[in-house]
Structure 1
Amino acid sequence: MTKYCIAVDIGASSGRLIQGYLEAGLLKLYGIHRFENKIVQNGDSFCWEVNNLFQEIKKGLKKCKEMGIKPDSIGIDTWAVDFVLLDVNDQLLTEAVSYRDPRTDGMMEKVFEKVMKERLYLETGIQFQKFNTIYQLYAIKQKTPDILEKAKSFLMIPDYYNYLLTGKKVNEYTNATSTQLLNAFTKKWDQELLDVLGINKEMFQEIKAPKTILGSLKEELVSEFGFDLQVILPATHDTGSAVIAVPEQDDTIYISSGTWSLIGTENYFPICVTKAMDCNFTNEGGIDYQFRFLKNIMGLWMIQEVKQNYVDEYTFAELVNLARDVKDFKAIVNVNDDRFLKPDNMVQEIMNYCVETAQDIPATPGEVAKCVFDSLAVSYQEAVSEIEEILEKRFEKINVIGGGCQNEMLNQLIANVTNKVVYAGPVEATAIGNIAAQLMALGEIEDIKDVRAIIKNSFEVKKYVPSQQVVS
C-alpha cells in the first residue's frame, strides 16, 4: 500500500507542507499549503513567530482532510541554530530570538576567554559564526542569567514543533550539531564544554537520529485533524535534508542555494584540522551519521534584501534580467562580511563597501544585482579551491540544489568562474530529502543509495558547461 508523507519545510522567508509518495518507482510531490515566514521586532529583539508558524502547520494538516488526503507520516525541518527554552511547566521562557539578532555581538570573543578556539573546533568541528547557538546561550547567561536558571528544556525549533505534536522532547542530531555544543566524535552533548561555560546541562534532551519514529499525535490533535499519523524525524536541519536530495555524489561538490548558500561535500568522518578551521569550514551532521563538510556563505539573502530595498518594484526574475543586461560593470563584495548579515539597507551597504574598496559603485538595480551575483560566484570559487586544497582532491562537478538553482544566470556564472560542470536541481531539495527520510523510516526505500537513484530519475536536473549556454 502506498505511503503518503508530509514534509513541513520552513525556511527564513517561507514555509510549505508538501506531500510525497512513490509511484512506479518515482517520487511524486504535491503541494498542500504555503505560508510566509519573517523576522519581527519584539521590543529590542528580532524574533520568529513560532506559535503562528505552528498554526500554519496545523492549517496545512487540516487542508489534508479537506482535500481527502490521509497522510501516514509527517516530518519537520527548519533553519539551524535557533531554539526555545521551556520552564518547569513547559511554557516558553522567552521569544524565539532570531540568529540575526545583535545580542550575540562580542559573545564569541567572551567564549574564547573561557575555551580555546582551537579546542572548540577540534572537538565540535563547527565553523565560527557569531550567531551559533553556543553564543546565543552565552548571551542569555551574560545578560539574563535568571532565564537559564529557570530553563528545564532546550528545544531547537523543529524539536519544539515535534513536542507540540507528540508531547515528546528530543533533540535531533543534524540540527544539534549546528549548536557548536555537540562533540563531533561521540555525537553527544559536550558535557565538559557546558560545564566550563556554566550552561545548565540538564535542559538538553537525548539526541535522536534522522529516521527515528517519534510516535503518534497527541489525542487532542487527532480529534482536531480527524486522523492520526506518525511523526518521524527527518534531518531537521533543512540543509541536512537538502543534501540527501543531491542526485550526483561521486566527485561532486554541492551548493544548497537559498537564503544561505551551503557549499561542501559529504564525508564519513569529521575533518577537524587546522586548515579547515582557518578557512572556517564546518562539519555538520548528516543522514546516517555522515558529515557535511561545508562553508556557510551569505547566499541569496542579499538579493532578497535588495528586492525589498527597491520596495518590491522588481521580481527576482526581473532583477536577474536587469543584471544580465549590464555589460560594463564589475564590482565584488565580500558576501561573508558581517556587515551584510542584517544591514539597515542592503543596497546602501553594498555601495558603501564599493566606496571603501575603491571599486566602481553600482548605480542601478541591474548593477546592484550583478554585483551580488558576481560576488556570490567568486565566493563559491574561493570555497571550492579551499575544499580541494583541504581534501587534496579535485572535483569535476558542482550540483546546485534548492530554490536558488532556478537562477540560470547564477548557475552559468558558477560554471564559468569555477571552470566546472554545474548540475542544477532538484528545486524542492529540502522537502524531497525530508520525505526520503520518512520513506526510509517506513521501510518504503531501503537506503540512501536507493534514495538518490530514485531522485535522479524523478526530477529535472539541468546541466551548465563553462562559458557555454545551458543544455538539458
Structure 2
Amino acid sequence: MNKHYLAIDIGASSGRHILGTMIDGKMVLEEVYRFPNGMENRDGTLCWDLDGLFKEIIAGLKVCKELGKVPETMAIDTWGVDFVLLDENDEILGKTVGYRDHRTDGMDTEVYKIISQDDLYLRTGIQKQIFNTVYQLMAVKKNQPEDMAKAKSMLMIPDYFQYKLTGVKKMEYTNGTTGQLINPQTADWDYELIEMLGYNKEMFVPVSMPGEVVGEFSKEVQEEVGFNCTVVLPATHDTGSAVLAVPTNNDNALYISSGTWSLMGVERAQADCSLASMKANFTNEGGYDHRYRYLKNIMGLWMIQSVKKEFTEDLSFAEICERAGKEEIPSIVDCQDEVFLAPESMTQAVQNYCRQTGQQVPETVGEIGAVIYNSLAKCYGDTIEEIEGITGKKYETIYVVGGGANAGYLNELTAKYCQRKVSAGPTEATAIGNIIVQMLYDKVFKDLPEARECVGRSFDIVNYDKTGTVI
C-alpha cells in the first residue's frame, strides 16, 4: 500500500492540503483541500486570522481521513518574517500583525540608532526589507513594550501552527533566517545582537533544522481529526521548500521561485555578507542542509494579483496575459519601488509611476498587464547580471518554479530580457519541496540529488529558448 505524505502550503492568498505519493517511481500529487487567506484590517492594522487558518488546517486533515488517505507524516510551510509572541499560558500577545502593515514605518531608523545597516548585514547577511522580523520586533518594543516583556516564546507562523498540532515548540531555521536575527556562521540566533537591540532574549526558541521531528498530534487533535500523525519540520519558509524542487542537480543553477513574490537567485555553500553584496540588495536566506539561498526579493505576481482584483471585468490570469501579449506599450516601472508594496490601488500606482517618469500611461487591462509583465522580466534581466557579477559565474538556464511557471507570457519575456534559456516547472514547487523533506526523513530518497532527479521525471517542464519560443 502506497504511503501518503501531506504538505500544508499556506500562502498570502490561499492555502492547500496536498498529498504526495510515490507511484511507479514517480511522485504524484493530489490536492485534497483548499482555503482562502489574506490580511484583514482590524482597527487600522493588517492582521492574519490565525484562528481561522488553524480551523482550515484541521478541516483539511479531516478530509484526508474521509478519503481514506491518512498521511504517514505531514508538514506546514508559509511565508516568512511574521510571528506570534506567546505568554506564560501560551496565549497570543497582541494582534497577529501581517508584514504589509505599516507598523514598521520608521523602525529601520530606530534599529540603526543601535547598529548600522552595514553592520547588521555583516552580522546576518539578510537583505533589508522594512517588514523583516527585526523591524517588526522594534515596533513591538516601541509601541507594545508590555507584550515583549510578557513574552515567553516567539514562534514564526508555521512553527505556531505545528505547535498547535503537537504541543511542541520548534523554531525552524529557514524561516527564522528571514527575520534578520540569525548568525549565518553558527546557524543560530545572534544573541549578542538581540541583547543590543533590547529584545526579550528569553522568548527566542532554540533553532531546529528541516527534517527534524516536531512531534505527534496532541490527544485533542487526534480526537478531532480521527487519526494520529508525525509532524516533521520542512523548510517552513515557502521559498526554502520551493528551491528544493528545482529539477536539476547542477550546483550553478539559477532559479526564480515565482509567486506572490519572485525570489531570484542561486544556492551557495557559504553566505556572502560583504558590503558589495549588501549594496546589490542580495540576501542569504537559510536553506535545507545548511545551504544558503543567495537571492533577491522581487515584487513578483503580487502586482498582477492586485490589479486583477481592481479590474471591472472578471478576468483569469490567462486572459490578462493574452491581452497583455497584444500590446506594444514601452513603459517600464521599477518593481522594487516601495510604492508597489501595499498601495490602495495597484492600477493607480502603476499609472502614477509612468506619469511621474514621463512615460506612456497604461489605461486598458492589456496595457497595464503588459507594463507589469515587461517590468518584471526586465528586473529579472538586471538581476541575473548582478548575480553573475557577484558570483563570477555564467548561468545558461533559468529555472522557474512555482505558480508563475504557468505564466507563459512572462516566461517568454524572461527568456528575451535575460537572453537565457528558461525551464518552467513544476508549478507546485513549494508543496513538492515540503514533501521531499518528509520523504527524506522516511528514507524514500537517499539524498536530495535523488529527490531532484525524481522531480524532473515526475512533473511537466516547459522549456523556452532565448527568443521566448517553446522548444
TM-score band w.r.t. shorter chain: over 0.9
Match of 2:141 in 1: 141
* SS at structure 2 position matched to 1:97: coil
Match of 1:10 in 2: 10
Match of 1:321 in 2: 322
Task: Determine the C-alpha separation between the residues in 2 that align with 1:5 and 1:54.
Answer: 19
State the shift of 1:468 in Å. Answer: 4.4
State the shift of 1:80 in Å. Answer: 0.2
Match of 2:216 in 1: 216
Checking the alignment, whether the CA contact within 8 Å between 2:182 and 2:188 is kept in structure 1 is: yes
Checking the alignment, whether the CA contact within 8 Å between 1:32 and 1:64 is kept in structure 2 is: yes
Checking the alignment, whether the CA contact within 8 Å between 1:123 and 1:185 is kept in structure 2 is: no
Show CA shifts across 1:77-128 (max 9, x none): 0000000111111001122211000000111122111102121111111000
Show CA shifts across 1:332-375 (max 9, x none): 10111111000011111111101111111101110000000000
- C-alpha root-mean-square deviation of aligned residues, in Å? 0.9
Task: Determine the C-alpha separation between the residues in 2 that align with 1:226 and 1:252.
Answer: 43
1:54 aligns with 2:59: no
Q: How do 1:122-141 and structure 2 match up within 5 A?
A: 122-141=122-141
1:23 aligns with 2:14: no
Checking the alignment, whether the CA contact within 8 Å between 2:411 and 2:468 is kept in structure 1 is: no
* SS at structure 1 position matched to 2:189: coil
Match of 2:239 in 1: 239
* SS at structure 2 position matched to 1:211: coil
Q: How do 1:39-438 and structure 2 match up within 5 A?
A: 39-250=39-250, 251-311=252-312, 313-327=314-328, 329-438=329-438
Paired AA for residue 252 in structure 1: A
Aligned in 2, Cα 1:298/1:224: closer, same or farther, shift over 3 Å? Answer: same
* SS at structure 1 position matched to 2:188: coil
Task: Determine the C-alpha separation between the residues in 2 that align with 1:140 and 1:223.
Answer: 37
* SS at structure 1 position matched to 2:28: strand
Show CA shifts across 1:11-61 (max 9, x none): 010000000011221111111100100110011210111110110010000
Task: Determine the C-alpha separation between the residues in 1 that align with 2:443 and 2:123.
Answer: 34
Aligned in 2, Cα 1:311/1:51: closer, same or farther, shift over 3 Å? Answer: farther
Checking the alignment, whether the CA contact within 8 Å between 2:413 and 2:468 is kept in structure 1 is: no
State the shift of 1:294 in Å. Answer: 0.2
Task: Determine the C-alpha separation between the residues in 1 that align with 2:82 and 2:313.
Answer: 28
Task: Determine the C-alpha separation between the residues in 1 that align with 2:278 and 2:52.
Answer: 38
Task: Determine the C-alpha separation between the residues in 1 that align with 2:62 and 2:313.
Answer: 32
Show CA shifts across 1:211-239 (max 9, x none): 01112100111111111110000000000
TM-score, scaled relative to structure 2: 0.98
Paired AA for residue 241 in structure 1: S
Paired AA for residue 245 in structure 1: A
Paired AA for residue 245 in structure 2: A
* SS at structure 2 position matched to 1:96: coil
Paired AA for residue 155 in structure 1: L
Checking the alignment, whether the CA contact within 8 Å between 1:210 and 1:437 is kept in structure 2 is: yes
Task: Determine the C-alpha separation between the residues in 2 that align with 1:276 and 1:306.
Answer: 33
Task: Determine the C-alpha separation between the residues in 2 that align with 1:428 and 1:34.
Answer: 14
State the shift of 1:252 in Å. Answer: 2.0
* SS at structure 2 position matched to 1:35: strand
Task: Determine the C-alpha separation between the residues in 2 that align with 1:3 and 1:209.
Answer: 24
State the shift of 1:73 in Å. Answer: 0.7
Aligned residues: 470
Show CA shifts across 1:370-423 (max 9, x none): 000000001111110110000011111100000011010100100011100000
Checking the alignment, whether the CA contact within 8 Å between 2:248 and 2:453 is kept in structure 1 is: no
Checking the alignment, whether the CA contact within 8 Å between 1:153 and 1:204 is kept in structure 2 is: yes
Aligned in 2, Cα 1:112/1:249: closer, same or farther, shift over 3 Å? Answer: farther
* SS at structure 2 position matched to 1:169: coil
Paired AA for residue 289 in structure 2: D
5+ residue gaps in structure 1?
A: none
Checking the alignment, whether the CA contact within 8 Å between 2:93 and 2:147 is kept in structure 1 is: yes
Task: Determine the C-alpha separation between the residues in 2 that align with 1:469 and 1:394.
Answer: 22
Checking the alignment, whether the CA contact within 8 Å between 2:249 and 2:449 is kept in structure 1 is: no
Aligned in 2, Cα 1:457/1:262: closer, same or farther, shift over 3 Å? Answer: same
Paired AA for residue 181 in structure 1: L
Task: Determine the C-alpha separation between the residues in 1 that align with 2:313 and 2:179.
Answer: 34
After the TM superposition, which parts of structure 1 deviate over 6 Å for at least 4 consecutive aligned residues?
none
Task: Determine the C-alpha separation between the residues in 2 that align with 1:146 and 1:70.
Answer: 43
* SS at structure 2 position matched to 1:387: helix
Match of 1:38 in 2: 38
Moved more, 308-317 or 199-208: 308-317
Moved more, 86-95 or 256-265: 86-95
Paired AA for residue 258 in structure 2: S
Checking the alignment, whether the CA contact within 8 Å between 1:82 and 1:97 is kept in structure 2 is: yes
Task: Determine the C-alpha separation between the residues in 1 that align with 2:87 and 2:253.
Answer: 45
State the shift of 1:311 in Å. Answer: 4.2
Paired AA for residue 464 in structure 1: Y
Show CA shifts across 1:261-292 (max 9, x none): 00000011101111110011000000101000
